[in-house]
Amino acid sequence: MLMRRRFPILLAVMVMGGPLVPARAGAQQDAQQPAPLDATEILAAGLAEAGRVDRLVFLHSGAPWCGWCKRLEQWLQRDDIAPIFFKDFVDVKIDVEEMTGGQELIDSYTEGPVGVPWLAILKPDGTVVATSIAPNGRNIGSPQAEWEIEHWNTMMRTAAKRITEEEIEYMAKTWAEDRQN
């Protein structure tokens, strides 16, 4: 039951298309190679799930080569973070290179290039609550610097309904510890 609640979008991704594989331009896809996932459909499923379970969507972009994206994903799945984080959020990852319409979907929420990972917290109707673009105009991505962690905290304080202040501070502490490793 806990696995189903924590990873509904991951399950949807697995059911909808298996591993992400880019389409080859001008080549016929092998029968064994699934079609790329559609970013708009993945986000729509996440928004619907968020509405159904009274949570917000944590939308983040990534790419297969992005080390910071992998770091973010590993942090979200930590045994001490996941139970806190997923009290308020449905996780939706958009691969900007391997999902059909991935980059275009992210671009629709941003004003120019933002890099990966880029983060946004959305209401179930798609309205943006907060993004990873800090007041200095820079993307915090997977937060490491003190100013990035502070903006992460601001995002959490803006959006969290169930996550406590103590839990926000704990998450910030784990980002700071991660920076030292």
Domain ranges within the chain, ordered by starting residue: 2-18+35-180
**What's residue 31's pLDDT?**
63
Query: According to the model, what pLDDT value does residue 91 have?
Result: 98
* Helix or strand (DSSP H, E) at 93: strand 89-95
Q: For residue 34, what pLDDT is reported?
A: 86
CB-based contacts of 32-35 (< 8 A; 24+ apart in sequence): none
Specify whether domain 2-18+35-180 bears CATH 3.10.20.30.
no
Low-confidence ranges of the chain (pLDDT < 50): 1-27
What letter represents residue 12's amino acid?
A
